[in-house]
Structure 1
C-alpha cells in the first residue's frame, strides 16, 4: 500500500500511516479498558485480597487448590495447542487442504519466534546511555526485525507467478511470516510499555510518543527499503 506496486490507487503513504495511528490508539484504549474491567472483576471475585478482615486463614486445602489451579493453567493451553496442531496436520494430510499445511508449519516455527522475542525482552533497559535506559530496546528490535522479515517474504511472493511456485515453498514462507514473524512481533507488549511509560512520567513527557511513533516509522521505512527494491528492480 505504501509502495504502490500492484495497487490501482498507487502509493498511499498518508492513508497507511493514518491507519497505523488509528490502530495504535485503538490498541491503547482497549488495553486501558481491559485493565480497568479486569480490576473490577478481580475485586468483585476476591474481596478478601483487598480487605484484611475478610481474608480467611491459609490452610492445606487452599494451598492444594492453588497448586491444582496453577497446574491446570499450564496443562490446558498445552493440550489445546497440541489438538489444534494435530487437526491442522490431519486437514493437510488426510483432506489435502493446502491452507492447513501453512498452519501446521506455522505451529512448528511459531515457538522459535516466541523464544527469540523472550530473549530480546531481556535487553529492555540495558542501553548504556542513561538518557535512554527507559527505552524498551528489546521490544523495539523484535517488532522491527519481524516487520522486515514480513516485508521480505511479501516481496518474494510478488515474483511467485508460476504454478510450481505455489507449492511447499510458498507454504513454508507463508508459515514463517505467520508463525515466526507473528510470534516475534508484539503489539500487546508494546502497548503495555507505552502505557507504563506515559503513566510513570509527567503528562507533557515525550518518551511514550517517541517510543510508539518511532517504532511505527522505523518499521515502515525499513520495510520499504527491503520491499521496494526487490519489487521494482529485481
Structure 2
C-alpha cells in the first residue's frame, strides 16, 4: 500500500514536472513569437492603432447563463493541460454582474477614419516640403554635400534626419504622444516622418548609377545608406533615453509608467471633433495653395511646379502606406507564417520602388516638359510618401534587439534586393536597349 502511494506520488510528481517543463517550453516559444511580432509592428500597424477599431477587434461580449464574459481575440490559446482545469468563477473574472466594460466615447468609426486621414495628409505634405528643403540645402546648389552622381544621394540627409527623429517620436516618446492623442502620434510617425524619408528615391538613384555602369558605387550606396540610417535611429533612441532620464531627474514624468505628466488628452468627443475640423481646414488650405501654385507654374515647368504638384498628390501615398501597415505582424495565411516580416512596409517599399522605376522609364520615353512635371511630381509626392525609410529603420532596429537579430539583416536584404532586381528589369533594361539619357 505504501509502495502504491509512493508510486502514485512519484508518478504525479513526474507528470507535474513534465507538465511544467512543457508549459515552460511553450511559454518560451510564445514569448519569442510575441517578441518577433512586436518587432514587425515597431514602425506602424495602420488602422489597427485607431481606438475605435482596436476596441471592436480586441473585445467581444456575449452572455452565458446570464453572466457577462469578455474575450480578447489577441489572446493566444492556453496549453491543453491548463485549459482543462476548472474555470474561474465569473464573479472573480468580471468582478460584478452589474459592472460593464463600455467602449470609450470616441468619434464614430467613420469619423475616426476621416480624422486620422486628415492628420496623415497634413503631416504628409509637411514631410514632402521638408524633404524638398533638405534636398536643396545639402544639394549642389548650397552645401554641395549630396549629388545624383555619388554615394551620398540627394535623399540621404532626409533619410538620416527622419530616422533620427523616429528614434525620438516613433520609439521612445511615441507612448507619450499617444497618451495625448492617437491621431497625433500616427500623424507624426506615419505621416510626417514616413513622408520625410523615402526608400523609392534611394533605390532609384542607385538604379540610375547602375544603368550608367557605376555598379560598385551603387552597391556601396546601399551599404553606406543602410549603415547611416541604422546609426541614425540608434543615436536617436539613445539621445531620447537620455532626455527621458533628464525628465525623470526633474520629476516631470510619472513614476508609475514613465509617461510625462501632461494631463491634456484629446479623448472626448468634442476635442476629437474639433481636432478633425482643424486638420480638415488646414488640409484644405494646403491643397488650395498648392493647386494655385501648380496652375501658375505648370506651364513653365521646373522644380517648383513639381514640388507643388507633389504636395497635392502626396497624401495618396501616405494613405496607401497606412492601410498596408495593417499587414505588419500578421504573417502569411491562417497560420501566420513569417510573422516576423512586416509585410505591409515591405509591400509599400517594393511597390513604390517598382512604380518609381516605371515612371522614370516613361519620363525618358516621352521626354516632354509637361510629362516631366507630372511624372516628377508623382514620383516625389506619391511614391516618396508611399515608401519610407524611417518606419523601415524602426523595424530593423527592433529586430536587432530580439533574440534572433539575424532577421533584421534578412529583412533589409529582402527589401533592397527585391526592389533593386525588379528595378533593373523595369528601368535598366529599357535604358540599355533604348539608349536613354539620365536626366540630371
TM-score category of the 2 structures, normalised to the smaller one: 0.7 to 0.9
* Contact residue 294 and residue 309 of structure 2 kept, 8 A: no
Residue 44 (structure 1) shift: 2.4
* Contact residue 31 and residue 192 of structure 1 kept, 8 A: yes
After superposition, the Cα gap between the structure-2 partners of 1:6 and 1:22, relative to the gap in structure 1 and judged at 3 Å, is closer
Residue 156 (structure 1) shift: 1.7
Which protein shows a greater Rg? 2
Name the structure 1 match of 2:350: 144
Name the structure 1 match of 2:339: 133
Name the structure 2 match of 1:160: 366
When normalised by structure 1's length, the TM-score is 0.77
Q: Secondary structure at the match of 1:39?
A: helix
Name the structure 2 match of 1:24: 226
Larger RCO, structure (CA 8 Å, separation 6 or more): 2
Q: Secondary structure at the match of 1:37?
A: helix
Report the Cα distance in structure 2 between the residues aligned to 1:176 and 1:158, rounded to whole angstroms: 15
After superposition, the Cα gap between the structure-2 partners of 1:219 and 1:39, relative to the gap in structure 1 and judged at 3 Å, is same
Residue 103 (structure 1) shift: 2.0
1:45 paired with 2:251, answer no
Report the Cα distance in structure 2 between the residues aligned to 1:135 and 1:231, rounded to whole angstroms: 33
Per-residue deviation, residues 18-66 of structure 1 (Å, max 9, x unmatched): 11111111111110111121222234235342535x999x9xxx74x44
Name the structure 2 match of 1:197: 399
Report the Cα distance in structure 2 between the residues aligned to 1:152 and 1:178, rounded to whole angstroms: 14
* Contact residue 89 and residue 101 of structure 1 kept, 8 A: no
* Contact residue 143 and residue 185 of structure 1 kept, 8 A: yes
1:14 paired with 2:219, answer no
* Contact residue 5 and residue 231 of structure 1 kept, 8 A: no
* Root-mean-square deviation over aligned CA pairs: 3.4
1:207 paired with 2:412, answer no
Matches within 5 A, 1:83-122: 85-94=287-296, 98=301, 99-122=303-326
Name the structure 2 match of 1:220: 420
Report the Cα distance in structure 1 between the residues aligned to 2:428 and 2:279, rounded to whole angstroms: 40
Out of 208-217 and 95-104, give the one that drifted further: 95-104
Residue 106 (structure 1) shift: 1.3
Report the Cα distance in structure 2 between the residues aligned to 1:141 and 1:172, rounded to whole angstroms: 24
Out of 186-195 and 124-133, give the one that drifted further: 124-133
When normalised by structure 2's length, the TM-score is 0.43
Higher helix content, 1 or 2: 1
Any stretches of 5+ residues in structure 1 without a counterpart? none
